[in-house]
Amino acid sequence: GAGVSQSPRYKVAKRGQDVALRCDPISGHVSLFWYQQALGQGPEFLTYFQNEAQLDKSGLPSDRFFAERPEGSVSTLKIQRTQQEDSAVYLCASSSRQTILFFGSGTQLSVL
Amino acid sequence: AQSVAQPEDQVNVAEGNPLTVKCTYSVSGNPYLFWYVQYPNRGLQFLLKYITGDNLVKGSYGFEAEFNKSQTSFHLKKPSALVSDSALYFCAVRDMGRAAGNKLTFGGGTRVLVKP
């Protein structure tokens, strides 16, 4: 596609529910990043893939967060047993060998 | 570890006046620096980057940024602001670790409000 696509655009979850957020990067981009953005703050790094390999997951806040990119293209960020503090916008970005990251519009997660 | 700081939470400017959004950085080695803009309910859009070369970098929508090594700053500027420039602006620095890819560390953001 022309840009990074994320779905759903909005997600409301009850506390304790599992959620899955999808990212479809720009075709051919080998690098994929997930960021978490709290309201009014800068994006915080969660995890990074190069093709299907997860090279850095140092930003995942707990073992309830899990990301995968099994075929080196689409990625899914899964959050188990959601908590209110997980409410945020989750941004996905992809890049080629160049240094510029291209971001999707994000998934706004609200945990009630 | 590298970091960037944006000392102003909000900048207010009248339309047609110059706009400056401040950013300072802390890295070991030569920095790769970026500016992104975020409009409401949208993802981040790339404005410009500094890798090497001229200290004055020109980017999208008439924006430019000046890299100053002695002051460790990378301020974003626009000579004449438009109401449509009202948005959230983020400065970022690239992680230089071997396995980091193009991972960016972002500042806290500066909200720009341009009044007619």
pLDDT digits (tens, 9 = 90+) for A83-98: 999 999 999 999 987 7
Distance CA B17, CA A95 (A): 35
Nearest to B103 among A56, A91, A103 (CB): A56
Q: Please give the Cα distance from A41 to A43 (Å, whole number).
A: 7
A107 in a domain, yes or no? no
The per-residue pLDDT for B100 is 63
**What six digits make up the tokens of A90?**
């989750």
Q: In chain B, which residues have their Cβ closer than 8 Å to the Cβ of A106?
A: 42-43
User: B27 forms bridges with which residues in the sheet?
Assistant: none
Place of tokens 């602001």: B81
B24-77: per-residue pLDDT in tens? 999 888 889 999 999 987 889 999 999 988 899 999 999 999 999 999 999 999
Unique residue bearing structure tokens 């900048």: B11
CATH for the B3-115 domain, from 2.30.30.90, 3.40.220.10, 3.40.710.10, 2.60.40.10: 2.60.40.10
SS3 B91: strand
Whether A105 sits inside 8 A of B42 (CB atoms) is yes
Amino acid B107: pLDDT? 96
Tens-digit pLDDT profile for residues B75-101: 999 999 999 999 999 999 998 766 667
